[in-house]
Structure 1
């Protein structure tokens, strides 16, 4: 790059496909805000070896559109009046069909595969299942189980939100200048916007536990831990990808819960789970620790934001 514009050599190498991937990503990001360089790249592509192919594709598409277009209906006209110019009928502009679902459908489509697939239904099933288990089954340990599972729900959504394994348009998304960290964060925010209200409301609606049993943490106590685990997943994704990062962080959380339960030979698994969750969730010290972990993961995301431009692109 020279000054504020791409050099002729960079433009030529980009148009013929010989520019290295990192330089190509940098140029594409520059083209988002520079119309001059965008016009130069477009002109170079038309004048290069690919120009002939692009022209043939364009002619073929236009010919196919013209052949499939219905013939205009004849419009009856009045007899011409001498001295008065004839007004030719102007065809009505074709209206763009409305997308299925309207604006909400487009938002859900952009939010990622997690909200378009079975994940959102699974979140609702977890919330409704917890209420049914508590009220219909009379199980006093529903709140500890829900609080243990709640931090894992966003991790699954993150794992399903980005990558070739879940998104049929991943190649197009990943090669766009906006397919890096910004898109990952937008899809993660959509996952949190669905899971946090559902699980928190379900926790608030659960009945109080038996006074004779250890009291589980409050219904909203999992929010900071869940945010910290989600940010840790995003930070680790820059090294190993979304699915592997979600599996590592989620497995670590389950191990941190299960290991103390298996080593303490006291009866009552639900009571021990409630005590363990209280150690992780209840009190200022644990919550401040989760807040500090969230801040550290956010700083790591910002420091390594360029790594997400090539996340799962190969």
Structure 2
């Protein structure tokens, strides 16, 4: 019992699902200690749009319990075991302490639960692309494997985000996104899991691949795509607040591929591999280009923080 009680408008917005995530979390902590406010919230939930559904669930549970009660009463008394007197219970040896769980297994479980893309076919596709590019560069003599990998690397996390969030990716998305830990927090957690898989794999593949030949211009560094990839990923998250996750990732990924391929289609003076290498060097190499990507990353992060309430019920309808 506390001296403060939730106002009526706060209770009403919590019951109909329009209360912001942070306020809902605070109210739920208050309801754990305040019986009158918990009763008011329960009454508001039953009086709202979810009231008929809650009544149907309650009736179904009661009916199942009443049906199971006669079967339980029909159990023969001989089968009911009574506990022996306390004096006859032998002393038990203390239970052995549990062995500590390995940190690697815990990290695996966290990544497994963080997003559908990480535990789906997307992770295998990322590893296949990285290993295939390395094999092509060494075994097939493909001089354009490295610039092609660097051109696709920034949109790989964007594709992972599209496969990690939304009704199409998670059968329990509506329930998870409507919880206090859903919304932007859930979206950022699954994005971090996607980046944790794609960034090391693609960067390691770029480091293992040979540099450009003597007849080709020097390409960008293997880690030059990381900041652009982060900026594009955050840009897709920002657009998700207006367009939805799949549409936003399609716009950002398609825009990047168009920005890379359009100059190559319009240019006729250089080869495909040389032109792609020059284009990526323009986008990835130098303090000015990386500074622009850093500014875009900061801007997208600020927009995410400013519009965080727009993600509380993202793709739940």
TM range (shorter): 0.7 to 0.9
CA deviation string 1:223-244 (max 9, x = no partner) = 1111110111111111101111
Deviations 1:48-88 (A, max 9, x none): 676865654554566789979x99896997xx9xxx96659
In 1: Cα distance, 2:109 partner to 2:134 partner: 32
Kindly report the root-mean-square deviation, in angstroms, between the aligned alpha carbons of the 2 structures: 3.6
Deviation of the 1:42 alpha carbon? 4.8
Q: Which of the residues 100, 123, 127 maps onto 1:124?
A: 127
In the alignment, which of 211, 214, 218 is matched to residue 211 of structure 1?
Answer: 214
Partner residue, 1:137: 140
Where in structure 2 are the equivalents of 1:1-314 lying within 5 Å? 5-7=5-7, 11=11, 19=16, 21-23=17-19, 28-36=24-32, 39-40=35-36, 42-44=38-40, 45=42, 56-59=59-62, 103-104=106-107, 106-314=109-317
Provide the TM-score with structure 2 as the length reference. 0.79
From the superposition, tell whether residues 282 and 85 of structure 1 become closer, same or farther in structure 2 (CA, over 3 Å): closer
Give the deviation of 1:103 after TM superposition. 3.8
Aligned match of 1:94 = none
CA displacement at 1:187 relative to structure 2: 0.6
Shift, 1:23, TM fit: 3.8
* Pair 65,256 (structure 1): closer, same or farther in 2 beyond 3 Å: farther
Per the TM alignment, residue 259 of structure 1 is displaced from its structure 2 partner at its CA by: 1.2
Scaled by the length of structure 1, what TM-score is found?
0.80
Asked whether the 8 Å contact 1:31–1:38 carries over to 2, the reply is no
Q: Any stretches of 5+ residues in structure 1 without a counterpart?
A: 91-100
- Measured in 2, the distance between the counterparts of 1:262 and 1:313 equals 41
Deviation at 1:112, TM superposition (A): 1.0
Q: Structure 2: 5+ residue runs without aligned partners?
A: 93-103
Listed one character per residue, the Cα deviations across residues 170-218 of structure 1 (whole Å, up to 9, x for unaligned) are 0111211111111111110110000000000000000122111112111
State how many pairs are aligned.
Answer: 293
Q: Which position in structure 1 is the counterpart of 2:97?
A: none
CA distance in 1, matches of 2:88, 2:275: 90
